[in-house]
Structure 1
Amino acid sequence: MEFPKIDEIYKLLSEKLEGWIEGGITLLPNIAVAFVIAILFGVLAKVIGNVSGKIMRRTFESRQIAGLLTSIIKFIIIVAGIFIALDFVGLKGTVTSLLAGAGIVGLAIGFAFQDMTENFIAGIAMGIRKPFEIGDVIEAEGVFGNVREINLRNTLVETFYGQLEVIPNKILFRNILTNYSYLGHRRIEVPVGISYADDIEQAAKCITDAMNEKDYVIKKDETAVYAESFGDSSINLLLWFWIRYPGTPSFMEVRHDAVTTVKNVLDENDILIPFPIRTLDFNAKGGDKLDAMLSKRQESNNEKSGNSNCASTASDN
C-alpha cells in the first residue's frame, strides 16, 4: 500500500488554507457589516420587546401570556436579523437549510406534544379573545366558580365548595362556557305554590310589590310573577327578578331573603301555601269518598249480622 508523500499533503493543505484566508479577507467587510446588522437587530429586539411588553401586560390578564408573546416578538426580530446577516455574507444555502430544519423540528414537536401544544395554542387564543378574566364567575364542563389564575396550558377555578379545579385550556376553548360576570347582572327564579282557592293575580301583585321594595333588586319594571303549572295541591307560580352579579349581597343571601319575603307577604295577605294533599278513592270509576265507602261497608255488615240473627231465631223455633 502506497502512502501519499508528506510534501504533497503539505502542499494540499497550504492551498486550502490560502484559499480560505483569501476568501475570508475578501468577505471581511461583509462579515463586519453582518455583525453590525446582527447587533442592530439585537438592540431593536430589546427596544421593541420592552415597548410591546408594557402593552401586552396592559392587554392580557395573564403575565405568562404577555411574557410569551413579548418573547416571540423579540425572537422573530433576532432571527430575522441573523438570517439577513447570513444572507449578506453569502450563506444563502445555510439560511435555507436552517428554515427547513426549523420547520421539520416544529412539525415533530407538534406531533409529539399534541395535547400540550393544543392547550398552549388555546391559552394564547383565549388571551387574545378574553372570554373571561381573573375574578369572573364561570361555568364549564361541570365546574362552577371564580377564576383565580390563567396560565398558558390551563386555568385555575376556585369552586364555591372550596376546591381548586385545574381546567385544560382546550376544554374551555372548544366547549360551551358560561360567564356570569360578563354582563354584570343575573336573574333569580323563585318557585312558590298557592292554593287553588286563592286569586293568582292578587298573589302575583303582592309578591311583585314586596320584591320591588328591596334595594338589591334592579330592573324593577321586569320583576314579575308568572303562573307556571297546575300542581297536585297548588297552582305553581314563578318569581323572576334581577340583581347585580357578582356583588353584595351575595346570590345565596338574596335568594334566602326572597324566599323569606314571599312567605311573609303571602301570610300577611292570607294567601295559603298548601301542604301536599292526597285523596284516596277506592272506587274503580271514581266518585265515592273514603268516609262514604266506610259507612256503606258498615251498613252492609250490620244487615248481614241482622239476617244471620233472624235465621238463627227461626231455626230455634
Structure 2
Amino acid sequence: MKALQLDTFWQLINEKLERWVEASIKHLPNIAVAIFIAMAFGLLAKIVGNLAHRVLSRTFDSTQIVGLLTSIIKVAIATAGIFIALDFIGLRGTVTSLLAGAGIVGLAIGFAFQDITENLIAGIAMGVRKPFQIGDVIEAEGVFGNVEAINLRNTHVMTFFGQREIIPNKILFRNILTNYSVNGHRRVEVPVGISYADDPQQAAEVLTEAVNEFDFVIRKEETGVWAESFGDSSINLLVWFWIEYPGEPGFLAARHQVIVAIQRALSDANILIPFPIRTLDFGAKGGEKLNAMLNDSVLPQNQTDDGASQPSASEDDNSPGDDS
C-alpha cells in the first residue's frame, strides 16, 4: 500500500516537471526576449543616467540632489524594463500586483516620513529655483550668516558668532528669506543727533562730504542725510550710504569707520552732538515765572517766622525785671 502511494507521488511529480519543461520550452523564445528587454533597459538606464547626471550638474549645485535625481531616473527606467519583460512572458497579473503593492508601500512611507519627504521635496525645489548659493549671506527665521552647505534635507549656515546652524529646507522654502549677496551691495544707516542751535542743512553737507571720502562707499551720488524727527534734546538725522556686500571692509567695519568720521567732522565744524538735557521753562503759556514761584514760597515762610518771634518779644517787654 505504501509502495503504491509512493509510486503515485513520484508520478505526479514527474508529470508536473514535464509540464514545466514543456511550458519552458514553449515560452523559451519569450523568456529570451524578456531577458533581452530587461538587459536593454538596464543599459538604457545607465546611459540615460550618465546623461542626466551631466545635465543636472549644470542645474544643481548640490551633488546630493544630482545623485538622488540620477538614481531615481535609473531606477525608473530599469523598473519599467522589468515590468515590460514580465508582461511579455505572460505574467501580467504579477505586474499588476507589483504596481499595486508599490503604490501602497509608497503611500505608507509618505505618511510615515512626511517631514523627511517634505524637506527632500523642498531641497529639490530650491535646487531648481536657486534662491541662494554656497557662500551667500542669508537671513531667515532669525539665523544670519554664510551658507556653508546645501543638502537634500537641510542647509548649513555659519553665523557671524561662529555657530553652525542647520536649517530644514522646508523652513527656508516656506518662510521669508533675505539674500544679501544677490545684488552685491548693501545700504548702511547711521543715526546721529545735532543740537537745536545748529543748522541741519549745514550738518547734512558736512556729513555727506565726510562719508563720501571713504573709498569703500559706492554710488556716492546716493549718499544722503535726512532729518528724521525732533528729539528731546536734538534734531535726529539719518545718514545712509552704500557699500559692496559681501566685500571689504565689511558691514560692521564700514559702519564703525563712518561713525568715527561723523564725530570728527561735526566736531571740526563746531556742530554739537548734545547730551540728553532738560530745559525748565516756567514762563511758557499756562506756567509761572520762576521768581514769582520763589517769592510765593518764601513770603509765607517769612511771615511764619515773624509771627513766631513776636510773642517772645512781648513776653520780654512784660517781664518783671522791667517793672523794677
TM-score, length basis structure 1: 0.90
Cα deviation, 1:276-316, whole Å, max 9, x if unaligned, reads 00245799x96357787557645654454355445543443
Residue 100 of structure 1, CA deviation: 0.9
Partner of 1:34 in structure 2?
34
C-alpha distance in structure 2 between counterparts of 1:135 and 1:235, whole Å = 41
Change in Cα spacing, 1:273 to 1:14, as seen in structure 2 (3 Å) is same
Partner of 1:223 in structure 2?
223
Residue 171 of structure 1, CA deviation: 1.3
Change in Cα spacing, 1:3 to 1:254, as seen in structure 2 (3 Å) is farther
Change in Cα spacing, 1:289 to 1:151, as seen in structure 2 (3 Å) is farther
Cα deviation, 1:102-152, whole Å, max 9, x if unaligned, reads 111111111111212211221111112111111111111111111111111
Change in Cα spacing, 1:219 to 1:150, as seen in structure 2 (3 Å) is same
Question: Is the partner of 1:79 in helix, strand or coil?
Answer: helix
Matches within 5 A, 1:105-184: 105-184=105-184
Residue 182 of structure 1, CA deviation: 1.6
Residue 4 of structure 1, CA deviation: 8.1
Contact 1:280 1:289 in 2 (8 A): no
Paired amino acid for 1:254:
A
Cα deviation, 1:216-255, whole Å, max 9, x if unaligned, reads 1222222111111111101111112111111111111001
Instruction: Indicate the larger mover: 76-85 or 158-167.
Output: 76-85
Matches within 5 A, 1:24-63: 24-63=24-63
Question: Is the partner of 1:227 in helix, strand or coil?
Answer: strand
Change in Cα spacing, 1:64 to 1:291, as seen in structure 2 (3 Å) is farther
C-alpha distance in structure 2 between counterparts of 1:295 and 1:158, whole Å = 69
Change in Cα spacing, 1:3 to 1:217, as seen in structure 2 (3 Å) is farther
Contact 1:218 1:242 in 2 (8 A): yes
Partner of 1:233 in structure 2?
233
How many residues get paired? 316
Contact 1:150 1:156 in 2 (8 A): yes
Residue 159 of structure 1, CA deviation: 0.8
Partner of 2:320 in structure 1?
none
% identical aligned pairs = 65
Task: Say if 2:250 is the partner of 1:250.
Answer: yes
Question: Is the partner of 1:48 in helix, strand or coil?
Answer: helix
Give unpaired runs (5+ residues) of structure 1.
none
Question: Is the partner of 2:276 in helix, strand or coil?
Answer: coil
C-alpha distance in structure 2 between counterparts of 1:272 and 1:202, whole Å = 12
Task: Say if 2:68 is the partner of 1:68.
Answer: yes
Partner of 1:17 in structure 2?
17
Partner of 2:261 in structure 1?
261
Matches within 5 A, 1:184-203: 184-203=184-203
C-alpha distance in structure 2 between counterparts of 1:62 and 1:3, whole Å = 71
Change in Cα spacing, 1:292 to 1:94, as seen in structure 2 (3 Å) is farther
C-alpha distance in structure 1 between counterparts of 2:289 and 2:148, whole Å = 62
Paired amino acid for 2:128:
I
C-alpha distance in structure 2 between counterparts of 1:250 and 1:59, whole Å = 31
C-alpha distance in structure 2 between counterparts of 1:212 and 1:99, whole Å = 70
C-alpha distance in structure 2 between counterparts of 1:269 and 1:278, whole Å = 25
Paired amino acid for 2:183:
L
Contact 1:280 1:290 in 2 (8 A): no
Partner of 2:322 in structure 1?
none
Cα deviation, 1:246-280, whole Å, max 9, x if unaligned, reads 11111110010111121111111111110000245
Question: Is the partner of 2:27 in helix, strand or coil?
Answer: helix
Change in Cα spacing, 1:215 to 1:21, as seen in structure 2 (3 Å) is same
Cα deviation, 1:191-215, whole Å, max 9, x if unaligned, reads 1111111111111122122212222
